[in-house]
Structure 1
Amino acid sequence: MHKQSDALFQQMDKDNSSGASREEIAQFVSSNAQLWAKLSVKLNQPAQVVIQVATRVAMELASGKEGQAALDAELSPEQFHQFRKKYVLDSSGSEEFFHRAVFANYDKDNSGELDAEELEQFLDTIYESRSVVKGVITLPPKEKMRDAIMKQCDTDGGGGFHTRKSVAS
């Protein structure tokens, strides 16, 4: 498995820098539909949009950094291998990746939380198209869902839906 990761890394590292940039990781993400296709379908988003979101999540998970620092990072071959092993090849890791990417799709400012507007956009997607939960569950009225989310996830009383920590737990 390490040999496969090394070979993929070598193909991806177009500039031979021994580090994978966001653009190089975006190429990897783009060519691995299991990282973004489900997002595209479930969120009814164009492939280009969800590939960008999936790349952001991949950079954060692989580098251990957040926000712009993650996007500016150069991943080492070992970081790439660990990311691929945990989030691409392992089914439970793939599911975690999907959940983080769904969240990141709505966290437009990359703050690590959904503010009131971002949460409203998330709820609109669920309630208008039911794409994320289509055929899976019956939803309560939107206002009850919003109240339940805020009660559970607004840990500091600031009105945001915090997830970097709550998704990981």
Structure 2
Amino acid sequence: MKKGQMVEGRVTRVEFPNKGILEVAGEDKEISVKNVVPGQKVQAVIHKIRKGKAEGSLKAVLEPSPLEISPSCPHFGECGGCTYQNLPYEEQLKLKEEQVHTLIDAACEETYIFEGIKASPRQMAYRNKMEFSFGDEYKDGPLALGMHKRGSFHDIVNVTECQIVD
């Protein structure tokens, strides 16, 4: 495996913070890719290689996960506000529980009682604080007020609605 190489693989799990682990035929390194969900078959390009690990960026989803649903937000995927809106709420809770449990296991040497993740009584319109950004819609482009584009601190997505804000 080398930098710039295109790989195809299936997402076996997602670790915190939103890094999917790909299983690629013939590769023994773990490849992490952001913005994926378990079960997807994806195409990614490798941009970092370290001992036993590699990092890539998502180029295409070749097959959706059997868990996936259509996100209700028209800005999902472009806006960086909602990470797992393409999963049913129950699956989001399972995924987050696995991530928290794994983090605690790694940090805690003693036995502990894990009480799990509590579901919110509201799945939409639950946020009472939003941080909007004011800046270029794209580099040297017109000024815009909106949310940060997914994966970027510089680009702004002009959103017409937000389903998680109250």
TM-score by length of 2: 0.30
Answer 1 or 2: which has greater helix percent: 1
TM-score by length of 1: 0.29
Which structure has more RCO (C-alpha within 8 Å, separation ≥ 6)? 1
Larger radius of gyration: 2
